[in-house]
Structures are given as C-alpha cells and as structure tokens.
Chain A
C-alpha cells in the first residue's frame, strides 16, 4: 500500500514536471539564457578555447538557437554532459536542448521520449590502419587486432560487420579516445575503429599523419543531431527551423558576409525574403521576431561556413563534406522549404 502511494506521488511529480516544462520557449525567454547540453570534449564538435569559451560544430547550433530566441549568441549556459548524464539532464529539464553528437536511433526517439529535430552531421563508423599494413579495404582485415571503445554502439557494429563478412578479429577493449590513440600508436592494435569524424580528428593529431589511412568502408549509419524533450512541439519547432535556416541559407547563398545586406530590404528571391523576414510572417508563427533567422545566421554564418570553420578541409580535422553536402551537390542535406 505504502509503495503504491510512493509510486503515485512520483508519477504526479513527474506529470507536473512534464506540464510545467511544456512551454520551454517562454521559460527560456523569461530566464534570458538558453541551457544547452554539450559534450565534455569532442574534437571539432565541442571544446573550450584558452579563454574558457565553448567552441565547435555542435556548440554553433546552441549559439544559433540562442541568437534566434534571445537575440544574443552569448546568452547560452553550456552544460557539459557525459554519455551517461545527457539523457537525464534533458528529461529532467536541466537543459532545454541537447547538441551533443548523439546518434538518432529508434529507441532514443520513441522509448526515451525525445524528439530529434534534425540531423546536423551524417557520421558513420570507419577504420584507421597504418599504411605499413598494406591494407586498402576493411574486408582484408581478417585476423586483425582492433582497438574498440567498450559499451558503445561501435562495438556492436564491429561484431556485426566481421560476422557478416565471415572474418575473425581480436578486440582490444579501451575506455576513452585518448587511451585509444596511445594504444594504437604504441602498436597494441592494428586497427582503430570509431566514428569517421573521430578518426579524422585523431589522425590529424598524429605526428606522422600521412602514414595512416582511413579505409573507405563506412559500416554503420550514425546520424547525429540536436534533440529536445517530447511534448513541447513549439520549442521543437524553434530548434528544428533554426537548424533548417542554417542549412537552407547555404542552399540559397546567404552567408554571414551578405546576410545584413540581404535582410535590409526585400530582394527578388521570395524564399530568401521569407527566410530573412522581409516578407511574410514566418518569425511570428514561431513566436519569435521577424528577423530571427538573420540573427541566427549572423553568429557564424550558414551551415557550410560553420562546417568549414570547425571541422572542414581547411581545419586540422579536415573532413570532406561527403554526405554532409547540400542535396544539390550530391549530399543528404535537404531543408524543407521556408514557405
């Protein structure tokens, strides 16, 4: 009897939490700060610079949303989350959104009751080997020793891949990326496998980067994207369309350099006009100012600019656009129309 009362009290507490947190947009505006969950450190995606400011590809999403909602890209409280704390932090309302290279999976979306609002990076698991090994395809890796982070989806993907191709391997379990780099360089394993973006960042840190290759096979789908709680669709829309605005701006040729000029008066491209608020009432529909997208784009430009600045080919990480190119250039980025 006592137990049911206790459970009931918990349920009521949980329910009231859900109801009270249902208007995140108003909460954020009243607070004047966006609580954004980020990773504690993923090269190129989230890190702190020497001044203690957060930088990176995921961080840029937080800043764009803060600019759109609060007109201030610095009005963000970055909450570092680990793989273990990220989902409870979001579910409990400690953070308003999570932008922490999190793979969109069925169970996270449905069972954990989150809404993935889009995909900001299409990743996939790859392999890195030393050139001395003379391997050009992952299918030649029979009998190799593989450094693999335990307790991750990559571990399961690896087992699947080798089983399907009828190959054998010897796993070397490791805990963190830093440990993996040391083990791989020390020759404890022939192959290091993790997300391709992580491999590129790791390779870039090697003294002899040219002696290591990333094999062409990508053995899993890892669509990474920001997410929000279930049940607050207005807030979900704000985050979703802020990300879409960054993507659409690249397609439409709106950059941080020309956004102010394009937004000063209505031009002859109606979609740009609607995006930048010089025509139509899209901002009002979201509950934001008419120039919300202008503010979001003024922070660090459109999707392509953010990509180039943080993880693109000019950076040490040097990722090619690949799947993350616009659909017009053979990639998968495809923003629904602003209409």
Chain B
C-alpha cells in the first residue's frame, strides 16, 4: 500500500492560457506578427497608415468652419495648410436638397423616412405583415410628397391597378385566360392615358386636397440622386424578373422581344441614353409637350438598370438544378405558381450579390446626369465653385460628396451581406 507515492484527489484549477496566446497580445501575435514576413508587412503597412493619417489629419482639422469665403479661409489659416470647411457649412443643405424650397424640406425628409418604413416589412420578415399594406401605398405617396399637386392624381393612378385587377378577375371566366390577361393590361392603360387626368382634375375641383407643387427643376443634390436611384432600383427589379423569364420563354415573340430589349440596352452606354432623354426626345416629341426632364431621366435609367437586372436574375435561374423545375411540374403547379413558390425564391437568393451590386452601380451612375445639366451633387459642386467666394475649392466639396456616397453604398453592401446570411439554408 505504501507503494503509492501520489494520488491526486482534487481537480487542478483551470489555468489562464499563456499570456502570449490570449487577449490583446495573443491576437496581435496571431494576426499581425505570426511570422517574420507578416511582421515586416505589418510594420510597413502600419507606417503607411500613420503617414497618410499624419498628412491628412492636420488638413482635416482646420478652424475654418465659420469662414464666409475662400479668402477668409486663407486669412484664418495664415499660410498653413488646411481645409476650408466654410463651404460645407454654407452649402450642405444645397448639396442635400438642391433648390427645393427650404420651408418644404420636411416633405423630402418625411419621404425618405417613410421609404425606410415601407421597405422594412419587405426585407425583415419578423415585422407584422400588415405593414405590407403601407409598402403598397408608398409608391403612390412618394411622388405626391416630392412633387406636390393634387392628391387625386396618385389616387387615380392607383385606381388603374385596381381596374386592371377587376378586369382580370371578372373577365377571365367569361372570355378565358388570355383575353383576361389582355384586358387586365389594356383597361388600366386606357384609364391612365385618357381618363385618369380629367377624373383627378374633376375630383380636385370638388375637393381640393393639394400640396404646394414643386417643379422638377428645383430638384437637386443628393435628393435628386436618391430619387432617381430609388425609383430606378424599385422598378427595375420586377421588370428585370419579367425580362429574365421572357428570355427563357418558349414563345418566340416574347423571347425575341426580351432578348432584343436586353441586348439593345446593354449595348448602349448609359450616357447615350441620357442624351437621348435630354435632347433627342425633345426634338421628336410633338411641340408644346412638356415632358418632365427628371421623368425622362428616370425612365432611361430604369430601362438601363432593368436590362442588367434581367441578366443577373437569368444567372440565378440558370444556377438552379433542372430537378427543381421538374419537381414543380410533378407537383402539378402551373407556371406562375411554380415560379412564385419554388423557382424565384431560390433564384433571387442566389442572385442577391449581383442584384445589390447592380443597385449600387445604378445609384452611383446617377452622377452622370450632371453631364446633361441636371444639378446632382457633382453638378452642384460646379456651380458652387463658380461663386467667386468659393472659386478654387476642390477637395472639400468632392470629399463631402464622396463621403455621403460611401455611406449610402456601404450600407447597401453590408445589408446585402446580412441578407445572404439570413437566407442561408445550408446548401453549401
């Protein structure tokens, strides 16, 4: 018995990991100095970052916030290098809202806040489903808030969709599916073209509910970019889906129309389409038609985005195994049901990165409108520089514009990564 020299009768306490592999020091050793080469690279890039910051910070931190002109900035700085932030203080509202009347800024702000409310239930399935009703109303509310005018016009436009739905519902049993579909398309178009205007005018004269009208010419700055971007993004997705399906269709006319549209639009640079919108349409339209320039630009940007969107979604459709289509057929689903329940949810999920990068591209492409004389942030920076007070300022304006664009685009891309994680169902 006495042979037993040692019996452990208590568990050893858990020890802290060695200091060199845990906590801050451990992280640094593991990630920054794990090998000689990594250590050298870390030191080099650290030095570079320090160099850039030490060059930039003294320029950025500059006591020129209250300066009223570039000359005052020079006086304040007295020969030192530094940014002239007075231009941002004086013009930031103009860069955000353009020439929108300042007492009506609330309408723009409200519009974009409501945009977030309207988009939320579409994106976050955890929210109450009743909020989707507001998302359906929003497309008609948004232009009314931005442009103003009588409330009856958006209502009349919305009524067109109701008419189309009713035509489809009640005509289908009588004249068959195809006739119903054609009527569902024709009735609203006739309503919009010939009746919506007079009816809303009549209603407005009976019950004048109207906001103060704001001309498109007064739109500018980021508000213009966001308006064009959001509308084009929102409309291009459904059009893109239809085009992608059309391109895969067995019906010759549908397929050739889709292919023709996509290839034509993709074969033409956006700036060409914008020039068509700003100059050619003007010449060809009947004289006296006052077709809003921003409308024309939005239509062109939407068409452009739709063509790209269609190809992104077609990529998603092509990535689906054939078995999914066959399974849908085997379940006895018709075309639209199988698309809605089986094909599209998977295809769209696959395409999310492509869709979001198209969105970001469209949003940034809106700066091209400065070339046709619309005053988006880039266009405004030219007129601001033409003010003799600020002539000669470059980096401050572009920096501010770039920062805002970065915030918008970065949040979009983070959001797409979040969506991908959320929709991940473990195929990979």
Chain A residues with a Cβ under 8 A of chain B = 10, 13-14, 16-17, 20-21, 39-50, 52, 55-56, 77-82, 84-85, 88-89, 91-94, 176, 178, 181-182, 201-202, 204-207, 315-317
Known contacts A40-B379, A201-B391, A81 near B373 by CB under 8 Å = yes
User: How many pairs of A and B residues are in contact by the CB < 8 Å rule?
Assistant: 117
Contacts of B91 in A (CB 8 A): 50
Q: In the complex, what distance in Å separates the CA atom of A13 from the CA atom of B74?
A: 56
Q: How far, in angstroms, from A316 to B386 measured CA to CA in the complex?
A: 12
* Bound complex: CA A317 to CA B375 (Å): 24
Q: A50 and B94 in contact (CB under 8 A), knowing A77-B215, A79-B217, A206-B392? A: yes
Chain A contacts of B394 at CB under 8 A? 178, 181-182
A43 near B388 with CB under 8 A, answer yes
Q: Beyond A88-B282, A93-B282, is A20–B386 a contact (Cβ under 8 Å)?
A: no
Q: CA A270 – CA B373 in complex, angstroms?
A: 45
Chain A residues positioned under 8 Å from B279 (CB to CB): 85, 88-89, 92
**Additional 12 contacts, C-beta under 8 A, given A89-B278, A181-B394:** A17-B283, A20-B287, A40-B382, A43-B386, A47-B383, A79-B373, A80-B373, A84-B372, A201-B388, A205-B388, A205-B391, A316-B71
**Complex CA–CA separation, A55 to B384 (angstroms):** 11
Question: A56–B391 Cα gap in the complex (Å)?
Answer: 14
Overall SS of chain B's interface: helix
Tell me whether A40 and B388 are in contact (CB under 8 A).
no
Q: How large is the interface on B (under 10, 10 to 19, 20 to 34, 35 or more residues)?
A: 35 or more
B387 contacts A by Cβ under 8 Å:
yes
Complex CA distance for A10 and B388, rounded to whole angstroms: 45
Minimum CB–CB distance from B295 to chain A (whole Å) comes to: 14
Chain B interface residues (CB < 8 Å from chain A): 70-71, 74, 90-91, 94, 98-99, 215, 217, 275, 278-279, 282-284, 286-288, 370-375, 379-380, 382-388, 391-392, 394
Known: A41-B386, A80-B383. Is A13-B284 also a contact (CB below 8 A)?
yes
A50-B90 CB under 8 A given contacts A80-B379, A181-B392, A206-B392: yes
Chain B residues whose C-beta falls within 8 Å of the C-beta of A181 in the assembled complex: 392, 394
Interface pair A92/B286, CB less than 8 Å apart: no
Cβ A202 vs Cβ B284 within 8 A: no
Q: Which of A14, A41, A91, A315 sits near B383, CB closer than 8 Å?
A: A41
Q: A16 contacts which chain B residues (CB < 8 A)?
A: 286-287
Instruction: Known contacts A52-B94, A92-B279, A205-B391; decide if A41 and B385 are in contact (CB<8 Å).
Output: yes
B90 touches A17 (CB 8 A): no
Which B residues are CB-close (under 8 A) to A50? 90-91, 94
**Contact status B287-A93, CB under 8 Å:** yes
- Residues in B with CB closer than 8 Å to A205 are 70, 388, 391-392
Write out the residue numbers on chain A whose beta carbons fall within 8 Å of the beta carbon of B283.
Answer: 14, 17, 88, 91-92
**Pairs A–B under 8 Å by Cβ, sample size 9:** A16-B286, A40-B373, A41-B384, A45-B386, A84-B371, A89-B282, A92-B279, A92-B282, A205-B392
A80 to B99: give the CA distance in the assembly, Å: 12
> Least Cβ distance of B77 to chain A in Å?
9
Question: Which among B90, B99, B283 has the highest number of chain A CB atoms within 10 Å?
Answer: B283
- The chain A residue sitting closest to B218, CB to CB, is A52
Chain A positions within 8 Å of B282 at CB level: 88-89, 92-94
The 4 closest A-B pairs by CB, nearest first: A205-B392, A41-B386, A47-B386, A92-B282
User: Which residue on chain A has the smallest CB distance to residue B382?
Assistant: A41
Task: Give the distance in Å from the alpha carbon of A60 to the alpha carbon of B334 in the complex.
Answer: 67
User: For residue A19, which residue of chain B has the nearest CB?
Assistant: B287
Q: Is the CB of B375 within 8 A of A80?
A: yes
B74 nearest CB neighbor, chain A only? A207
| CB of A47 to closest CB in B, whole Å | 4
Chain A nearest CB, measured from B258 CB (Å): 24
A317 CB contacts on chain B under 8 angstroms: 388
User: A290: shortest Cβ distance to chain B, in Å?
Assistant: 31
